[in-house]
Amino acid sequence: MIKIDNNYIQLDTVDTSSLMRVNEYGDIEQLYYGDKIDFGDRAAITPNRSVLLVNTVYPIGDESYGIDAINLSFSSGGIGDFRKPACVCMELNGNNIEFVYSGYRLGCTPSWLSPHTPNGWSDSIVIDYSSIDGSVSIELWYLVYEGSNVIARATRVTNNGSEITVNKLSSLQLDIEANERQLVSFNGAWGREQSRKITDLNVGIVSHGADNGLSSAECNPFFMIKDRETTQHAGNAYGFNLVYSGSHVYSVETSVYNGMRILSGIASSTLNYHLKAGECMTSPFAVMTHSSRGLNGVSGNMHDFIYNHIIPREAITPIMLNTWEAMYFDISEEKIMAVATKAKELAFDGVVIDDGWFLSRNDDTSSLGDWVEDKIKFPNGIFNLASRVKDMGLLFGIWIEPEMVSENSNLYRQHPDWALKSKVGRDIVGRNQYILDITRSEVADYVYDSIVSVVSSYGADYLKWDFNRRFSNVVGERDSYSYDYAVALDGILSRLIAAYPKLYLEVCASGGGRFDLGMLSYSHIVWTSDNTNALSRIDIQEGTSYGYPVATMLSHLSASPNHQTQRIMTRQTAADVAKIGAYGTQLNILQIDDDYSEFIRRANSDYRSTQQWLARAKCYRVVDGQTSNQTVWQVMASNGECGRVMIYHKKFDPVSGGRAIKLVGLEPNALYNINGHKVNITAHGTTLMSCGMVLPQNYQGHTMTDKTLKLVDNTTLSLNITRIGGNE
């Protein structure tokens, strides 16, 4: 809900309020963002600036207005606000353009298709600014997603005068009190995505981002700001993300006046976007939330927002068998049929043919761009194979990397200029391949037509969309390239899901390099990481859970020793971790014994019992896995009737005493049964949340049934939670 009175504007969600005020200078002050407050109290929290509080510059005659210390909703620099601005627009002669507030409009709907706007907002307001001569305007778009406690903001520049450049365009600016808060960021690399880092914020700027064309494994666009004392379960925290898939940056600047400025948006280090008369540039939407219920509270809001406004194409994650680690490029009609037959026996929902199915693709040096089946591997064609797979009652999935071209390909030989290559300097490849320049409409059309031809001619139910290199040869050529590319990608994706609304879409970028709200706006799940070793995965999935629900994290049971880490894991541990996610496998099921086959059949059937509700589950980090020997995750059906708790014990500490696991999110007076592996506890919600469950210390004993290993570290216990009584 949006409340307005005189110069005050309050954006309310169910649990939060953001209060702004247009002041006498036409600046919009951010007076407050946090737990919900009464709009009637607005005067009480308006600062009284009767004395000079800061040693800075001020408008003539008003020493009390030191703008460098005022929390603002928008800053374009140049007027004595020495913090980094959200937006920089320049005349071609290099003059910075200054903007002043000019009004607001309620109930507007974005008119642009891309960057994508999350659906289903409850209220909207556009705050208008104008350059002094009136030729350039800025619109601050605020969309309120009331039930999810999320506010989205985008910034749009329109030029009606002579040509200008946009050199910075943040989606979001939020100024709040600094109060010795901390930044929680999610950095990593291939194979160790979403590793949580906590940074104390002192005076100065902390900035993270990725300039490589991806939301990236190096720095996920999701981040949090928390009070020092905030825990998983209590205390104030803010969460931020960007509805965009491309180069991005966020910064947190702490001023000497206890101010904190948070900016988030597209990468700007080389941005130089030319706007001619009549043109506009629109930032993606950034989203923000607040909770005083700790880090889980922020995650819960973000998860709710993702369920309801980012991935509303309701779908149950099918249990798929992917051929990549099982066979790599060594696939054939015969092998896929054998796998499909066994997959059916083991109760999988379908099979995904990964890389290697198209023209002469026997390793990663060739053929990207030639999306035609390889007749040597598939003599009867993939349509025929897909039909046989589907006749067995299985879903048919296929891999594609549509934005790429190999130098050794027919596409490259026909259109060498479609590849993003240096015109003058050295050519840089990644995995032997080039990115196609989809900012050119004929290239975008080719990419779209290729995808459509694969999906429609093979009757694919499921598409895995991969992207395996970073951008190069773009800086200096067109400084806005990454933005133009992301907009073009949006265009292809939106056409695809409009044409194939039932297509189940998995996103991958060498693992989790595109785990972002931009891609999730069109897809269902993201391949979380190529690293499927459970000990690594526990950190990767837990890191990912801060910003994204488990239902979006594709997680596989895979071979031991693990192909990426060469570490050994018990199958039980690997399956327990993967099953708190969108579960599947890439094991070679043709090479396992009966015992293992039976294990997989049981794991699939167990996952199937959670499949329905896991797609919209509430997810909690019960124990902070990064600071404890245990990682404990709890997932609950949205109706609270059932759930699961997964306890991961990293190393076995002999005689270390028991630790009570205190569940969360239960109805205090309802009766629950906790069941699984020698555990059978019945108690009320209050008891389970306050006293917790003391589990048998030696619960790793169940892994002793794994005949391949002796006593091991890294064991799991996965217990079902069932509500068996109401509020008695």
Residues that bind ligand DGJ (CB under 6 A): 324, 354-355, 399, 466, 468, 508, 510-511, 527, 530
Nearer to ligand DGJ, 259 or 513 (CB): 513
Q: Can you tell me whether residue 571 is helix, strand or coil?
A: helix
Contact 583, 614 (CB under 8 A): no
| Per-residue three-class SS string for 614-673 | HCCCEEEEEECCCCCCEEEEEEECCCCCEEEEEEEECCCCCCCCCCEECCCCCCCCCEEE
Nearer to ligand DGJ, 293 or 514 (CB): 514
CA–CA dist 318, 394 (Å, integer) = 10
As measured in angstroms, the least distance from the Cβ of 541 to ligand DGJ is 16
Nearer to ligand DGJ, 298 or 454 (CB): 454
DSSP letter (8 states) at residue 44: G
CA–CA dist 445, 536 (Å, integer) = 39
**CA-closest candidate to residue 128, choices 150, 149, 157, 96:** 157
As measured in angstroms, the least distance from the Cβ of 337 to ligand DGJ is 21
Q: Which two tokens stand for residue 228?
A: 């020092």
Please provide residue 398's backbone torsions phi and psi, each rounded to the nearest 5 degrees: -145, 150
CA 422 from centre of chain: 31
As measured in angstroms, the least distance from the Cβ of 120 to ligand DGJ is 32
As measured in angstroms, the least distance from the Cβ of 530 to ligand DGJ is 5
As measured in angstroms, the least distance from the Cβ of 510 to ligand DGJ is 5
Nearer to ligand DGJ, 66 or 511 (CB): 511
CA–CA dist 468, 447 (Å, integer) = 16
Q: Enumerate the β-bridge partners of residue 642.
A: 722
Nearer to ligand DGJ, 172 or 554 (CB): 554
Report helix angle 382-391 to 441-458, nearest 10.
Answer: 50
Nearer to ligand DGJ, 145 or 515 (CB): 515
As measured in angstroms, the least distance from the Cβ of 560 to ligand DGJ is 18
Nearer to ligand DGJ, 104 or 527 (CB): 527
Nearer to ligand DGJ, 15 or 466 (CB): 466
As measured in angstroms, the least distance from the Cβ of 325 to ligand DGJ is 8
As measured in angstroms, the least distance from the Cβ of 428 to ligand DGJ is 19
Contact 496, 448 (CB under 8 A): yes
Nearer to ligand DGJ, 432 or 597 (CB): 432
Query: In terms of DSSP bridges, do strands 582-585 and 320-322 run parallel, antiparallel, or are they unpaired?
Result: parallel
CA–CA dist 316, 551 (Å, integer) = 9
As measured in angstroms, the least distance from the Cβ of 555 to ligand DGJ is 12
The number of beta carbons lying within 10 Å of the beta carbon of residue 41 is 12
C-beta nearest to ligand DGJ: residue:
355
